[in-house]
Amino acid sequence: MKIEDVKKSAFAMPLTSPAYPVGPYRFYDREYMIITYRTDMDALRAVVPEPLEITDPIVKYEFIRMPDSTGFGDYTETGQVIPVRLNGEDGGYVHSMYLDDEAPIAGGRELWGFPKKLASPKITHEGDVIVGKLHYGSTLCVNASMGYKHKIIHQAPVKASLEKASFLIKIIPHVDGSPRICELVRYYITDVNMKGAWSAPGELQLFHHVMADVAKLPVREVVSALHFKADLTLGLGEVVYDYLEK
């Protein structure tokens, strides 16, 4: 392969068989179950990086079923998002993500900097209850549940929340192990088509695990439980802070 061919074709690894295609990345029939809970402010201060500001001792624990996504396939994801603010703009800091598909793990980490790890999340409908579970190997790390479509809610606030900024720390090491990229990244979800939103009572249990540390942000009080479906496009990111230049 000629040098010019490498330059022309190289956008993802491996060179001759990339783990994911070029975007845009459109998702159809995404199903969310989000349990919002109150946690300890000191625990948040230990994991949210400056220059992001913590607005409240709140965490959104999310289960997302993605049955149809261009380029990434059919998979399920779960993790924690922390409400934050940057230069007066409200958004969410993506603290942890666990999922069961190689393409979005590779693409998410390499393109945006999503903190993705391989695990086994599941969303199931069990009669009048929606259940979300996360296993890391054989170990249960998360057990979440909420009532099934108890109350129809207005879709506009849910759509507006989806369209807020999201923030990530993108870390790429040099070949000697030193940091080559360490950036605060911002991205947006666009072209949202809501397909229904519901609230209900919810419960959330987090369990300690050495490689899935969700319980380091402990549940002190469940605030709300939200279930909704939507089509959307995952926009590419922009660097808003470079830790290696400061």
Tell me the catalytic residues. 116
Q: Are 171 and 113 in contact (CB under 8 A)?
A: yes
For 214, phi then psi, to 5°, come to: -60, -30
**Run of H or E residues at 186:** strand 179-187
Q: Are 122 and 143 in contact (CB under 8 A)?
A: no
Strands annotated E in 39-128: 53-54, 58-69, 73-86, 89-99, 116-118, 120-126
Query: 142-172 in b/e burial notation, b at 16+ Cβ within 10 A?
Result: bebbbbeeeeeeeeeebbebbeebbbbbbee
Q: Please tell me the distance from the alpha carbon of residue 13 to that of residue 3, in angstroms, as a whole number.
A: 16
